[in-house]
């Protein structure tokens, strides 16, 4: 019914893709697309907004993961409407502004894509009905703001600022998630409506305090409240449109939005007041004070924003309904004047080439129009009458006086409020006076001039709003304020009057005092600057953060060092010992009682099995004894593999035998390729005690495993094999139970396994990329390799074998569902057949004949398998349900076909792709394939390049 809500939220995400794509078409396309998307979202908001104006609260819900209480839910009431309007309205202006702000060499598509992502995340956050969904969007805003702040990624301060912002807001987001989960636990529902309705039970709950603390951590980090405020000034390394959007109107307001959203549920307790109000007050004063001493225009604005956010937090902390109304009003006013000020600062930076107020002066002569706009906005920030900042600030003063009258100890409140107000006046004055007046500029990088017409339009619009609201508050922001404040309180609105003149009240006196005090502070700024530089100015929160960060990383490295020694042997020894300890502890009772053997009688041994076992023993021991003769050890190892395959045959597991055989073959080829690059002999590396230790360990592991197997095999047990045997044909349409399990009953496992395989292959591919090894030119005795690298007979017969081998692979694949075989084995057969071509004919001959790259095969295979699984959704069946039927095909005969076969085909492709990627990359490492001199030169050149690349 209100499906325009989710549509409105998802539209910017689609817009991000479009903007990124259109950015490749032409520089300005992405700006047009983003503007269009923002407009369309605004259009979608129109209908619901009308309904909200009528007093409705719109809800749209869909189940998502109901088991964990996560549903998709959107809600539009007065508060969300206010924020959605700010996000989309100011967003639209920022889109227009950024189009003129960004330089030619800045990639537009990327900027607008990030901006749209952020817009969507922010919209989702303010319209979330579900708390977990809200936390998700909250995190999204952190991530997208990270991307936006680090947009100029070639600048180190942008990267550092973005990282700091992400670390702090991300940590806060984690705390917030915990808090919201606790809140949901208390209420028994994650729906915002339920939470808001359950205020009393929340405050009575013992979990209230932990939940409140965690949520407030999220709020304070996001809204840059003391002591987490220091990330915001460093985020000023972002392009100015980003600051105008994120750091005035939206992102930093997310914290206070949450305060407003949960105000009815959490406020009105001692804990709330005593945490929120002091933090807000400290931030208010600290921000206002520090702002005056910032020489960077944007730094001043950042601290001013911190201060104003502190003001809003303080108002929420005071906790009376009227204070909440004032807070909502100030949210609106601050967004308008601060966004316009950021844009004005951006224009100054853009046209004058610097933002340093020590270098700027007298710009009034060059850009009077911009100067006028900036002046009005700065006056609003200072709280000059007839502008919007004055109204909400006076409401704030009024509340502090009210609090002071209520309690004796709160007399500090109006004092600090006035002080902060005075500093606000002072820094606003500095913003205007230092930049636009004070003599002609002397050391500007370029001669400033007015910006293009359209760059000023967003500022104009915002400044006009400032003035209009300041003169006629009731007619402009009035209706929206009533709606938003009503939604914040979730109850009747208190009486308040939105007018410019309230008579001679204490608040008016405070305003006048602040204005006069501000002028006075500005007049004595020079000694103040010196004083500040010798006192507070020395304290650098960033250095503290960096020290903390490096201490944390140091701790992690230290822990890692303790737990994770970089010795493979030691790690292996620890793991094996642990395994032995666990098994021995488990078996200990039966070992003590002598009941290790179960009731089942032993099968009498037959001579063939004994012979095979002896071979196995000889092979295993031979591998260990001869491990320094690598080639011989490899032959011994292959004996082991072969005997295992025969054992599978004997135990009626033909599928496993086939798999084992083909894996064995591929492994041997792989090892041969690897051995080629290694010396023929391994030097003796371990001392005698060490070898004795290893022998003991290996013996212990072997005996433990044997005891375990003995205990299991001598006991009767009910396996699940019977179920699979019974259900293989009716459930999976195949008589080969092994294959049916792989592609049907446990198809999801197989999908996961081939995905892991594919990831491993990508890893190997990347590791081997660009690596060149110099293969030995001769063997250990110094004999050169045979001149005949690709013998004619081998080459010819290998080509002859290829079609036959492929035929066998198809046969194995097709019959796999009913008889031994399947995609995995068939894939290995194909891979072996293709590798054979490489080995017999050489890479130079083979590469042009096997078309294209082979690694896309991995992706295609994965996609095919997944698509087969998804296909069953189309028929309203669970993922990976297979359909099967009996078909009669001409020429081939009767066939039992199942969709699982498509899945198996995907498996085959993945296996072929992986094997070939690994083997061929390994084979290509050989520098011999290149003319020797050139190969060596290339290696030298690449190394020199690396050195140069690492140097700067």
Partner 1 sequence: MTEPLSSTLTSPLWSLGVEILVSLLIVIGAAFTCLGSVALLRLRDFYSRLHGPTKATTLGVGSLLIASSIFFSAQGPGLSLHEILVALFLFITAPVGAHLMAKAALHLRVRGQSGLPPDALLDGQGVAQPDPQAAPRPVPRPASRIDADPLRDAD
Residue numbers of the site for partner 1 (CB under 8 A)?
Answer: 153-156, 159, 769-770, 783, 786-788, 791, 793-794, 797, 800-801, 804, 808, 843-844, 847-848, 929-931, 938, 941-942, 945-946, 948-949
Task: Decide if 282 contacts 364 (C-beta within 8 A).
Answer: no
Q: How far apart are CB 121 and partner 1 at their closest, in Å?
A: 24
The percent helix, strand, coil of the chain (3-state, each to 5) is 75, 5, 25
Q: How far apart are CB 714 and partner 1 at their closest, in Å?
A: 37
Q: How far apart are CB 751 and partner 1 at their closest, in Å?
A: 31
Nearer of residues 710 and 930 to partner 1, judged by Cβ: 930
Q: How far apart are CB 806 and partner 1 at their closest, in Å?
A: 13
Q: How far apart are CB 844 and partner 1 at their closest, in Å?
A: 5
Nearer of residues 66 and 848 to partner 1, judged by Cβ: 848
Nearer of residues 566 and 770 to partner 1, judged by Cβ: 770
- Ramachandran region, residue 880 (left: φ > 0; alpha: ψ -120 to 50; beta: rest): left
Nearer of residues 55 and 803 to partner 1, judged by Cβ: 803
Task: Decide if 151 contacts 240 (C-beta within 8 A).
Answer: no
Nearer of residues 698 and 942 to partner 1, judged by Cβ: 942
Task: Decide if 83 contacts 141 (C-beta within 8 A).
Answer: no
Q: How far apart are CB 812 and partner 1 at their closest, in Å?
A: 12
Q: How far apart are CB 770 and partner 1 at their closest, in Å?
A: 4
Nearer of residues 27 and 799 to partner 1, judged by Cβ: 799
Task: Decide if 77 contacts 487 (C-beta within 8 A).
Answer: yes
Nearer of residues 416 and 930 to partner 1, judged by Cβ: 930
What does each C-alpha distance from 455 to 29, 350, 351, 776, 814 come to in angstroms? 17, 11, 11, 67, 67
Which residues are registered as beta bridge partners of 58?
A: 76
Nearer of residues 596 and 928 to partner 1, judged by Cβ: 928
Helix/strand/coil for 130: strand
Which residues are registered as beta bridge partners of 784?
A: 778
Q: How far apart are CB 882 and partner 1 at their closest, in Å?
A: 28
C-alpha–C-alpha distance, residues 639 and 648, integer Å: 14
Packed helices 29-53 and 108-126: angle between N→C axes, nearest 10 degrees: 10
Nearer of residues 278 and 935 to partner 1, judged by Cβ: 935
Give the number of other Cβ atoms within 10 Å of residue 213's Cβ: 15
C-alpha–C-alpha distance, residues 82 and 67, integer Å: 32
Listing DSSP states for 888-949 in one string gives EETTTEEEEEETHHHHHHHHHHHHHHHHHHHHHHHHHTBGGGS-HHHHHHHHHHHHHHHHHH
Nearer of residues 610 and 946 to partner 1, judged by Cβ: 946
* Token reading at 38: 């923002």
Nearer of residues 888 and 948 to partner 1, judged by Cβ: 948
C-alpha–C-alpha distance, residues 2 and 6, integer Å: 8
Nearer of residues 491 and 791 to partner 1, judged by Cβ: 791
C-alpha–C-alpha distance, residues 821 and 818, integer Å: 8
Residue 539 CB partners (closer than 8 Å, separation 6+): none
Nearer of residues 718 and 769 to partner 1, judged by Cβ: 769
Nearer of residues 684 and 947 to partner 1, judged by Cβ: 947
Q: How far apart are CB 495 and partner 1 at their closest, in Å?
A: 58
Residues 373/379/383/385 CA torsion (nearest 10 deg): -90
Q: How far apart are CB 330 and partner 1 at their closest, in Å?
A: 40
Task: Decide if 444 contacts 352 (C-beta within 8 A).
Answer: yes
Helix/strand/coil for 607: helix
Nearer of residues 450 and 929 to partner 1, judged by Cβ: 929
Q: How far apart are CB 333 and partner 1 at their closest, in Å?
A: 40
The answer to whether the peptide bond before residue 197 is cis (omega within 30 degrees of 0) is: no
Q: How far apart are CB 209 and partner 1 at their closest, in Å?
A: 45
What does each C-alpha distance from 98 to 93, 112, 715 come to in angstroms? 9, 9, 75
* Token reading at 431: 């913003």
Q: How far apart are CB 783 and partner 1 at their closest, in Å?
A: 7
Listing DSSP states for 523-576 in one string gives HTHHHHHHHHHHTGGG--HHHHHHHHHHHHHHHHHHHHHHH--S-HHHHHHHHH
C-alpha–C-alpha distance, residues 58 and 780, integer Å: 81
Q: How far apart are CB 614 and partner 1 at their closest, in Å?
A: 17
Task: Decide if 57 contacts 75 (C-beta within 8 A).
Answer: yes
Q: How far apart are CB 949 and partner 1 at their closest, in Å?
A: 5
Residue among 160, 152, 529 at smallest CA distance from 357 = 529
| Residue 456 buriedness (CB in 10 A; 0-12 / 13-18 / 19+) | buried
Q: How far apart are CB 355 and partner 1 at their closest, in Å?
A: 20
Nearer of residues 603 and 769 to partner 1, judged by Cβ: 769
DSSP letter at 366 equals: T
Q: How many residues does the chain have?
A: 952
Q: How far apart are CB 945 and partner 1 at their closest, in Å?
A: 5
C-alpha–C-alpha distance, residues 627 and 542, integer Å: 56
Q: φ and ψ at 481, to 5 degrees?
A: -65, -40
* Token reading at 332: 């609106």
Nearer of residues 32 and 930 to partner 1, judged by Cβ: 930
Q: How far apart are CB 156 and partner 1 at their closest, in Å?
A: 5
* Token reading at 575: 């793991």
Nearer of residues 174 and 810 to partner 1, judged by Cβ: 810
């Amino acid at each position: 019914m209100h499906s325009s809500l989710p549509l409105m939220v998802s539209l910017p995400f689609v817009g991000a893709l479009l903007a990124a794509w259109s950015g490749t078409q032409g520089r300005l396309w992405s700006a047009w697309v983003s503007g269009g998307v923002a407009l369309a979202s605004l259009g979608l908001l129109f209908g619901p907004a009308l309904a909200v104006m009528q007093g409705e609260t719109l809800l749209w819900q869909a189940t998502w993961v109901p088991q964990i209480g996560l549903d998709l839910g959107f809600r539009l009431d007065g508060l969300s409407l206010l924020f959605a309007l700010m996000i989309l309205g100011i967003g639209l202006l920022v889109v227009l502004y950024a189009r003129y702000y960004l330089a030619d060499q800045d990639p537009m598509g990327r900027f607008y894509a990030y901006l749209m992502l952020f817009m969507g995340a922010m919209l989702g956050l303010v319209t979330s009905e579900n708390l977990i969904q809200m936390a998700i969007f909250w995190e999204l805003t952190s991530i997208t703001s990270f991307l936006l702040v680090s947009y100029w990624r070639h600048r180190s301060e942008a990267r550092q600022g973005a990282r700091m912002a992400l670390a702090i807001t991300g940590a806060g987001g984690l705390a917030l998630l915990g808090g919201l989960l606790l809140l949901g636990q208390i209420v028994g529902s994650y729906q915002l409506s339920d939470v808001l309705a359950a205020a009393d039970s929340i405050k009575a709950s013992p979990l209230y305090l932990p939940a409140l603390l965690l949520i407030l951590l999220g709020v304070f980090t996001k809204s840059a409240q003391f002591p987490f405020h220091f990330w915001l000034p460093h985020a000023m390394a972002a392009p100015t449109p980003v600051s105008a959007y994120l750091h005035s109107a939206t992102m930093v307001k997310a914290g206070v939005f949450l305060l407003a959203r949960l105000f009815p549920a959490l406020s009105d307790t001692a804990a709330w007041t005593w945490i929120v109000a002091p933090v807000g007050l400290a931030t208010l004063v600290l921000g206002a004070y520090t702002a005056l001493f910032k020489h960077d225009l944007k730094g001043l604005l950042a601290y001013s924003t911190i201060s104003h956010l502190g003001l809003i937090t303080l108002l929420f902390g005071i906790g009376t309904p009227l204070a909440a109304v004032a807070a909502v009003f100030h949210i609106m006013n601050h967004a308008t004047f601060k966004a316009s000020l950021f844009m004005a600062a951006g224009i100054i930076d853009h046209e004058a080439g610097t933002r340093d107020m020590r270098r700027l002066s007298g710009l009034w002569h060059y850009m009077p129009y911009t100067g006028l706009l900036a002046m009005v906005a700065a006056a609003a920030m200072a709280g000059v009458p007839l502008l919007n900042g004055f109204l909400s600030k006076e409401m704030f003063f009024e509340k502090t006086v009210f609090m002071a009258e209520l309690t004796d100890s709160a007399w500090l409140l109006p004092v600090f409020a006035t002080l902060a107000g005075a500093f606000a006046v002072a820094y606003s004055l500095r913003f205007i006076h230092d930049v636009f007046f004070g003599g002609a500029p002397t050391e500007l990088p370029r001669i400033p001039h007015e910006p293009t017409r359209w760059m000023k339009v967003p500022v104009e619009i915002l400044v006009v709003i400032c003035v209009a609201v300041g003169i006629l508050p009731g007619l402009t922001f009035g209706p929206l304020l009533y709606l938003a404040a009503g939604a914040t309180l979730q109850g009747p609105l208190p009486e308040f009057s939105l007018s410019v003149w309230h008579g001679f009240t204490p608040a008016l006196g405070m305003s006048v005092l602040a204005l006069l005090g501000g002028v006075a502070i500005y007049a004595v700024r020079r000694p103040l600057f010196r004083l500040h530089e010798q006192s507070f100015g020395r304290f650098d929160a960033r250095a503290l953060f960096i020290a903390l960060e490096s201490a944390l990383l140091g701790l992690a490295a230290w822990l890692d060092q303790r737990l994770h020694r970089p010795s493979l042997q030691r790690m292996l020894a620890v793991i094996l010992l642990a395994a032995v300890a666990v098994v021995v502890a488990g078996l200990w009772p039966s070992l003590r009682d002598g009941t290790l053997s179960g009731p089942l009688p032993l099968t009498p041994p037959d001579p063939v099995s004994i012979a095979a076992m002896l071979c196995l023993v000889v092979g295993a021991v031979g591998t260990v004894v001869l491990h320094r003769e690598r080639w011989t050890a490899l032959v011994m190892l292959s004996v082991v593999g072969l005997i295992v395959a025969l054992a599978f045959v004997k135990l009626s597991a033909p599928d496993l035998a086939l798999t084992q055989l083909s894996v064995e073959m591929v492994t041997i080829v792989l090892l041969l390729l690897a051995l080629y690059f290694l010396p023929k002999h391994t030097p003796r590396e371990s001392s005698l005690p060490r070898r004795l230790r290893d022998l003991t360990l290996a013996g212990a592991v072997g005996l433990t495993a044997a005891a375990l197997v003995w205990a299991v095999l001598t006991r009767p047990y009910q396996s699940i094999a019977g179920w699979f045997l019974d259900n293989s044909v009716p459930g999976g349409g195949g008589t080969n139970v092994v294959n049916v399990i792989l592609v049907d009953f446990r198809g999801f496992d197989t999908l996961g396994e081939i995905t892991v395989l594919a990831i491993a292959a990508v890893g190997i591919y990347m590791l081997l990329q660009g690596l060149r090894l110099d293969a030995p030119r001769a063997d250990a005795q110094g004999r050169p390799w045979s001149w005949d690298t690709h013998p004619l007979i081998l080459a010819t017969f290998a080509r002859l074998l290829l079609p036959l081998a492929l035929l066998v692979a198809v046969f194995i694949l097709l019959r796999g569902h009913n008889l031994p075989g399947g995609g995995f084995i068939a894939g290995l057969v194909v891979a072996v057949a293709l590798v054979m071509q490489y080995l017999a004919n050489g890479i130079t001959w083979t590469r042009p004949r096997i078309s294209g790259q082979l690694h896309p095969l991995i992706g295609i295979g994965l996609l095919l398998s997944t698509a087969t699984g998804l296909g069953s959704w189309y028929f309203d069946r669970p993922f990976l349900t297979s359909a099967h039927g009996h078909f009669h095909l001409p020429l081939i005969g009767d066939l039992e076909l199942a969709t699982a076969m498509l899945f198996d085909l995907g498996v085959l492709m993945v296996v072929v792709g992986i094997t070939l990627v690994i083997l061929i990359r390994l084979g290509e490492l050989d520098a011999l394939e290149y003319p020797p001199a050139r190969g060596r030169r290339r290696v030298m050149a690449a190394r020199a390049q690396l050195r140069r690349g690492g140097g700067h």
